[in-house]
Amino acid sequence: MTEPAEDSAGERGQDVALAPGVAEVEDRWRRAVADLDNLRKRYARELEREREAERARAASWWLPVLDNLELALAHRKSGEDPVIEGVRAIRDQAVEVMGLLGFPRHDEAGVPFDPARHEVVSVVEDPARPPGVVVEVVRPGYGQGERQLRPAAVVVNRRQD
């Protein structure tokens, strides 16, 4: 505003090099406001993504603890020992927490093999069972689809052709 003559000249588009006109500044302003709006929307999405990522990180740190609880229980029958029963209850509780974190456990045998949630560790040939079916779950999986912590490690029945 110190040189009004030049400003108004620029505004009329006769001397744009000296100072920006109202339309140009208004355009900059509108772009900044649009950027603000986009930032807000992007942040809301990012926040949810970051929360999920942090949850997944925490779950992956706890996974070996849960796996070791499973190992301690492997090949032990129910009612064998009060200590074992206690550990079993703790394992069940840990599985529940995994579910709360968004990674429900899956360890179903007899279901069709699904490459998205199963990892084949060995193949058997059993004509008595349907081909391509999960015969045994060696290590349970957690979560599914886009929210998968780990696929289940499984033994699969060979497809007969």
Question: Can you list the pairs that 127-131 forms with residues at least 24 positions away whose Cβ atoms lie under 8 Å?
Answer: 127/160, 129/157, 130/157, 131/157, 131/158, 131/159, 131/160
With contacts defined by CB under 8 A, name the span among 28-36, 119-127, 129-137, 138-146 that binds a copy of itself. 28-36
Q: Which of 15, 90, 105, 114 binds a copy of itself (CB under 8 A)?
A: 90
Is residue 120 a contact residue for a copy of itself (CB under 8 A)? no
In this structure, the number of other CB atoms found within 10 A of the CB of residue 58 comes to: 12
β-pair type (141-144, 147-150) = antiparallel
Is residue 93 a contact residue for a copy of itself (CB under 8 A)? yes
40 Cβ contact list (under 8 Å, min separation 6): none
Is residue 41 a contact residue for a copy of itself (CB under 8 A)? no
Query: Each residue of 97-115: b (16+ CB within 10 Å) or e?
Result: ebeebebbbbbeeeeebee
Is residue 17 a contact residue for a copy of itself (CB under 8 A)? no
Distances (CA, A) of 135 to 34, 71, 112, 155: 56, 20, 9, 5
Nearest distance in Å: CB 109, a copy of itself? 26
Nearest distance in Å: CB 107, a copy of itself? 19
Is residue 12 a contact residue for a copy of itself (CB under 8 A)? yes
Interaction site with a copy of itself (CB under 8 A): 1, 4, 7-8, 11-13, 19-23, 25-26, 28-29, 32-33, 35-36, 39-40, 43, 46-47, 50-51, 54-55, 58-59, 61-62, 64-65, 68-69, 71-72, 81, 83-84, 86-87, 89-90, 93-94, 97, 100-101
